[in-house]
Amino acid sequence: MRIAVTGTPGVGKTTLSRLAAQHYGWERADVRELAQAHSLVVAYDEADEADVVDVEALAAVLAAERASDHVEVLDGHLSHLLPVDVVWVVRCDPRVLEGRLRERGYSEAKVRENLEAEAVDLVLQEAQGAGVPVVQRDSTRRSPEELLSAFVDAEGKPRNTTDLEPVDWSDWLLE
């Protein structure tokens, strides 16, 4: 089973996926590193302050080497655009996310853009277009361990049926 761990930058994807790999022995790959390994970082977007990955080409590479009997976690905010069996969307209250993005040294515009994306469920909406089950969990008041527990079932198997924990940060947009 291949799992996309996606969400706005800073929500806790890497923390969660590293913990999952450590705790359950699942394989973990970072989408940006995968793209680099396959020479599929094609540009740097100055306005977006981010690498541009050839997602279609990376999807083709990954489709050819489809994970089967083991669990593989793809960590990255583009992972829901890759061939996966389920998408896990990690969410975080914009009020908490703001401090994390500022700590990363993002520009004011990039901080604002990401916080707005989080508040309007942008990644969830994209993930729902992927045509596979989507599991959403709010990381805001959960430790990484609690968050991982919320993404697995009682037997410690990765959740792979649609289950969206509701979040609503529309009040943040109006502040």
Residues that bind ligand DAT (CB under 6 A): 7, 9-15, 100, 139, 142-144, 147
The CB-of-174 to ligand DAT minimum distance in angstroms stands at 25
Find the Cα–Cα–Cα–Cα dihedral 84, 75, 51, 105, rounded to 10°.
150
Nearer to ligand DAT, 60 or 113 (CB): 113
The CB-of-168 to ligand DAT minimum distance in angstroms stands at 19
What is the edge-to-edge ordering of all strands in the sheet holding 72-75? Answer: 27-30, 72-75, 2-6, 86-91, 134-138, 163-164
DSSP 3-state helix, strand, coil percentages of the chain (rounded to 5)? 40, 20, 35
Nearer to ligand DAT, 112 or 142 (CB): 142
The sign of the dihedral angle between the CA atoms of 119, 123, 126, 131 is: negative
The CB-of-55 to ligand DAT minimum distance in angstroms stands at 18
The CB-of-46 to ligand DAT minimum distance in angstroms stands at 21
Q: What is the DSSP letter of 85?
A: S
Nearer to ligand DAT, 15 or 149 (CB): 15
CB-based closest residue to ligand DAT: 12
Nearer to ligand DAT, 4 or 147 (CB): 147
